[in-house]
Amino acid sequence: MRTFIVSAFVAYSTLALAAPSAKSTLKLKESVVAPRGWTKREAAPRDLPINLRIALPQSNFPLLEQHLYEVSDPSHARYGAHLSKEEVNELIAPPPESVDAVTSWLAAHGLDEGDLVRSPAGDWIKVKVPVSLAEEMFDTEYHVWEHTSGDMLVRTTAYGLPEHLHSHVELVQPTTLFSRFRGMKTTFHFTGEAVDTSSATSAPAISVPSASGGQVDASCNTTITVSCLKQLYNAVGYTPLNNTGNQIAATGYLDQFADLADLQSFFAEEVPDAVGSTFDLVSINGGQNDQSEPGGEANLGEYTQFAFGIAFPIPSTFFTTAGSPPFIPDIGTPTDSNEPYLDWLDFVLNQTSLPQTISTSYGDDEQTVPESFAQRVCAGFAQLGAQGVTLTFSSGDGGVGDGDPDPATTECITNDGTDRVQFIPAFPASCPFVTAVGGTTNVPETAIFFSGGGFSNFFARPSYQDQVVSNFLNNLAPGTFEGLFNTSGRAYPDVSAQANNFLIFFAGEEALIGGTSAAAPTFAGFVSLLNDARIRAGQPSLGFLNPLIYSLSSGFNDITTGNNPGCGTDGFNATVGWDPVTGLGTPNFGVLKDLVLSA
């Protein structure tokens, strides 16, 4: 059953637009209610250049999705037969009539082929135009919008297109996208102080039957290190190779950089064999890696410490992508570019060789992202999965709420104009084509209170989740949180990992940090080890992970205590089996290795 469904248009109205060559009748393509916390300010400067992205239909996406599930399902004969970039591009190429119609419309506004940048498959067109022309093309008005946090965007809440183009254009951005694209992090866990673990070093080890040797160092109950994670997740003694073609990568946005000196300090403390090694740096759209202003989030969430330490010596890559809010429209800021997901996708989908495992620790409330935009970004993740890439995303740090410290947006109120109280799902964690990672704490493990989890309002529940999610819902007491979540939506997280008291180096000093931004790269590190085992056995990489992991009857440490409060409730409870706090549980590498080698 297809779970990726392009949104129906919200409403229609007839508009008129004077194109350069003729009058055209427009109908409303998309409209939104501005999310809570945003206030419309002055009209956008008419000469401000904006980078328009026009999405053409991906005519054979249902077939691509079919291929994705077949090559990701261990019970299917095609399991592991990942597609090439060329095969993916052929499947998502837009119909020729759509290309012709949109090209002609752009030409009517004075934009010829030399002004356009087309994606490799032709399903996206990028063009830079001044606000004045964009307003003319869409019969709309752009304004500066200010968030209570101080972030500023240039946006509109509605736009139109010629009626004959509605079947040829799925969306245009930047128009209705008000997402702030926050890093998934819990800053209140960052201490910035030296860490003293001496009191725990002489304490007796903690009995954990699923761990390596059946026990874990007592210090791991207060301070998480690479050694702790390998003990806890049963990977002690496994050494990967660095020459199999296996790679691990991370994405960095929002001016969060990877500090090279701190990485070496971390290696010296926790992975001595890795001292002197580093990662490949890939800059996208002018992304930087400023060593004078590294970020705590990138130090941890983007593999520069823990995931690189877990996976060493597997080659690693740090993607740094430019484009970040806040946008302040003044003379010193010529463009409004805060859609870095698409910049990153543009780049990686054009590569012939990709890292097999990529982790991201950024996202936002699902409701701040137009559904059409979320669907297309999610489709991009599906294209990567079809090519054999595992994508892990942190599930968020707000429990069942939004996790935003801004009081204007923490009331769990819907953005659809009805002002209903509802749990707030996160995106991209809610995309069914990624593996969302929740958080745990302590040894033995329990769910950590901020572990993001819930049910999507945009994406239907994928078939791979039917049994476990139905079991969870059937075991809820009647009426529990009735009306607060979408029982038929894609449920997340899928899995979990430790997410608290990670010992990192920041600005040359030891510090503790936490969040699902720690859990996602941790889980990805163990996926990279699993890929090492498969590739060494002559098997393909795991790729899109979810159909496999939901089919397994073992391989995860079931977390059955804890909950994720939010929205004035205690949130969901961790329970036997899958739950929307810790998913299927935390990885048992030793068991999973045997299972994936026989898949």
Q: Is residue 293 part of a domain?
A: yes
- 3-state helix, strand, coil split of the chain in percent (to 5) is 30, 25, 50
Q: List the structure tokens of 596.
A: 């994936």
Q: Are residues 106 and 129 in the same domain?
A: yes
Asked if residue 476 belongs to a domain, the reply is no
Same-domain check for residues 208 and 292: yes
Statement to judge: residues 214 and 152 lie in one domain: no
Q: Is residue 25 part of a domain?
A: yes
Q: Identify whether residues 155 and 38 lie together within a single domain.
A: yes
Residues (pLDDT < 50) of the chain are 1-23, 186-192, 288, 294-302, 324-338
C-alpha angle 268-223-181 in degrees, rounded to nearest 5: 90
Residue 423 placed within a domain: no
* Encoded tokens for 249: 């990568």
For residue 188, what is the DSSP state?
Answer: G
> Could you tell me where the beta strands, DSSP code E, fall in 152-229?
152-155, 158-162, 171-173, 182-183, 206-207, 215-216
444 shares its domain with 510: yes
Closest CA to 33 of 290, 410, 414: 414
Within a domain: 457: no
In the chain, the amino acid numbered 338 is N
Count Cβ neighbours within 10 Å for each residue of 458-479 and write b for 16 or more, e otherwise. Answer: bbbbbebbeebbeebbeeeeee
Which of 178, 205, 226 is at the close of a domain? 178
Q: Is 579 annotated as a binding residue?
A: yes
**CATH code (residue 337):** 3.40.50.200
Count the alpha carbons within 13 Å of 239 in the hemisphere toward its beta carbon: 4
Residues 244 and 284 in one domain: yes
* Helix and strand counts by DSSP (H, E) for the chain: 15, 29
CB 289 within 8 A of CB 279: no
Considering the domain architecture, whether residues 192 and 317 belong to the same structural domain is answered as yes
Nearest to 522 by CA among 315, 338, 309: 309
Residues 107 and 252 in one domain: no
Residues 59, 93 contacting (CB under 8 angstroms): yes
Q: Give pLDDT, residue 407.
A: 52
What residue type is assigned to position 479 of the chain?
G
Per the structure, the count of domains in the chain is 2
Range of the domain at 269: 187-363+381-409+432-452+491-597
Neighbouring-strand partners of residue 393:
360, 436
> What is the pTM (predicted TM-score) of this model?
0.90
pLDDT of residue 230: 98
In the chain, how long is the greatest CA-to-CA distance? 82
Q: What is the pLDDT of residue 257?
A: 61
φ and ψ of 424, to 5 deg = -110, 100
Domain annotation covers residue 473 = no
* Same domain? 223 vs 161: no
The pLDDT, as a whole number, for residue 57 is 98
- The two tokens of residue 316 are 């690693």
CA distances in angstroms from 126 to 55, 106, 123, 166, listed in the order given: 9, 11, 10, 18
Interhelix angle 371-386/61-72, rounded to 10 degrees, is 50
| Residue 11 contacts residue 149 (beta carbons within 8 Å) | no
Task: Give the three-class secondary structure for 364.
Answer: strand
End-of-domain residue from the set 178, 207, 242: 178
State the DSSP code for 401: S
268 plus 385 within the same structural domain: yes
- Half-sphere exposure of residue 545: CA atoms within 13 angstroms, side-chain side: 28
Is residue 471 domain-resident?
Answer: no
- Please tell me what DSSP assigns to residue 209: T
Which region holds residue 556: left if phi is over 0, alpha if psi is between -120 and 50, else beta? Answer: beta
Strand partners, 319: 251, 282
> How many residues are there in the chain?
599
Give yes or no: residues 139 and 191 share one domain. Answer: no
Residue 577 known to bind ligand:
yes
Residues 392 and 524 in one domain: yes
Q: Is the peptide bond before 326 cis (omega within 30 degrees of 0)?
A: yes
Q: Is residue 522 part of a domain?
A: yes
Q: For residues 187 and 512, give the distance between their C-alpha atoms in angstroms, rounded to a whole number.
A: 10
Asked whether residue 290 is marked as a ligand-binding residue, the answer is no
Element (H, E) at 124: strand 124-130
- Among 178, 201, 224, which residue terminates a domain? 178
* Separation CA 91–CA 254 (nearest Å): 32
